[in-house]
Structure 1
Amino acid sequence: MPKIIFRLLLSFIVFVTVFVLIQQYLTPNSFGKYGHYRADAIDDNKMRTSYYKGEESCVTCHQDVYDLKSEDVHDRVRCESCHFPKIAGSVDCEVMPPKVEGTLEFCAQCHAINLGRLKKGVPQLDFKEHKGDQNCIECHNVHAPWELKE
């Protein structure tokens, strides 16, 4: 066997061996127990604090806001889509109320012009022409955006 072929074969074997060793070292012990997943991830996720409370929890205290929202175009948008659940599900929102930023960047996540989005669904705005120097919630009621503030 020529030396070049021998060296190439030896290099290939060394590369594969190093790859297998690194893979064995980096793969967690619980990997593959429940398929192509790390089984310990289930326990890790159980230890996390639950932040999502659900819209039913919001309605118990904020029925008036829910009624206003249900009569508007945002009726299909869930509360925690805008009021990010930043507090534990067991903490009362009166202790740490979830705030809506109402900034241009925040509202533009849904309302900026996007050619991939249906025009008849979410209203799309050209924020360069629509916005002045204010945040959206300075002019619009967040739960009924068609109602402008005075």
Structure 2
Amino acid sequence: MVHRRQRLCIPRIFFLVFVVSSAHGFLPLSTNQKCRTLLNLVTEDDVIQKVEEAEALWTKAHDARERANALSDQASEEAEAASGKAIEVERKMKEGSVSMEKLQEADAATMANIEANSMVSKALQAAEEADLLEEMAEQ
């Protein structure tokens, strides 16, 4: 008799496990452990803080953009001056023999070109910084 009872219990246990596991998917969200909702509460102070941070970033971005524009203008002026010097040195070198004075003028023209390139690099770096700050402010 005990043996027959054990045979009846095993199918019942499997049936219970099947019913419980398949019913799990149909339970309401509060009891279903697979589905969870995260709530992120935002207070008025949080919003004010984020707005102030964004305003500060926009101010920094504006300043960086103005600095980039000023550096770009300065780089343009230096490049034009360097170009003028290079043209003048080239004209003088074609006129006659090479002298120490002409070599010094050529060296000065080369240095002016290097300084103009350096200024362009600084302007590009400032523009990239302004772009980054603008992107951060938009977030």
Higher helix share: 2
The two structures have a TM-score, normalised by structure 2, of: 0.26
Indicate the structure whose relative CO is greater, using CA pairs within 8 Å and at least 6 residues apart. Answer: 2
Structure richer in strand, relative to its length: 1
What TM-score do the two structures reach when normalised by structure 1? 0.25
Max Rg structure: 2
